[in-house]
Structure 1
Amino acid sequence: MARPRKDAEGATARQRIIDAFWHLLEDRPVHDIVVGAVSDAACCNRGTFYYYFPDMNALVASAIREEFFSDDALARAVSGILAGGDAKFIMRSISPRRTRRISLIMRAGGERIVEVAVRDAVHARWRERLCEADCDLEPASVFAIQFMVGGLLGYFSYMVQADDAAVPLDADARRYLRQVARATVQAVSDAQGLDPQDVKARLRCGVPKEPMDDAAAS
């Protein structure tokens, strides 16, 4: 099959297909979006669609990967929460458009897709920061990390369903989050044979630091 041409002006056909997916997601569930609708919205034919993507699952996976994981901002934000117990890391570390699209796909029935992608990205970041080359995290570390990631994803899903990406955490909830974050870091440190402060320093590398208030410092 010949490669579809790039328009003299504007996006490539592949990018138009991805943009069309996000547009269609505004008013229909992810599982109701079909190849024909995407092709029509992207102003291309089915052959062009199948040149780039073997099926809708591949399109959805590519759209999520490129939107959320073209850099490590999302994995860094989740790691910041895990390491420091600061729920505001999400809002500080990722763009409003990215936050909106995460909410959009979760609201459209794609919670499981997002969950798998985030879990894989966070695991990869912790492995990269804490392990030697060609090594992986210890099973106890994986359990501790994924257990807390599951809780964070559940909270984010709650915010999405509440149609509010900034549902505040009260003092008791923030205190609990910090306690769980400390327990997660301690469990990973013990399993990997590392100092907890070293683990936090490695994970927070590249994350802007802000002064902690008195409550957070406790």
Structure 2
Amino acid sequence: MLVIPQRVIADDDRGLLTWRPIGTKYLFRRTVDGRDRREVPLAERDTVEWTLAPLEWSGLHVLHLFRPGHAHSVWWMFNPDLTLNRWYVNLEDPPVRWSGGVDTFDHALDLVVMPDRSWRWKDEHEYLERIGHPAYWDAARAAEIRAEGERVVRAVESAAFPFDGTHLTFCPDPYWPAPFLPAHGWDRPRAVAPEESS
């Protein structure tokens, strides 16, 4: 689980665009003894105690686009000087919006896209090891996840939106305060799409 505040930049037919600067404080699931989830084998994750640990976003600024009806989000990952370091495509459930924010569910498989639009899969081993696990996806759903990534690859290779130069000159207001979590309300159970809850 990841809980991270972000500043809303735009909310239109292209999606919800948010800003996550370096230094944003957020919460990330770790074991109570401080281990990252990747340090715990998948088969053992139900046997350990978890907590939400406070962390601080570092390294790169992120402009984050949640696309309605798309099973992925796109991150423009900017260097500290606001030049593009890379795009990151997080394959995930389509976003479900509620009064406190946006919820989704990660699909493990991701894409890293460089400024020249060369690309590679990321975390493919994590995606593959989850196939057939009751908490994740079966083979048919895994094929849908991969197909979503392949659709994104076609957009990358054809320089289609959002890989067409959009937002590359984005410049945040230097007086914006860092996003922060509200005192209450962010910790309700994950919102689900209507078809999931029926």
The TM-score, its normalising length taken from structure 2, stands at 0.27
**Taking CA–CA contacts closer than 8 Å with sequence separation of 6 or more, which of the two structures ends up with the larger relative contact order?**
1
Give the strand-richer structure, 1 or 2.
2
Computing the radius of gyration over CA atoms, which structure comes out larger, 1 or 2? 1
Give the helix-richer structure, 1 or 2.
1
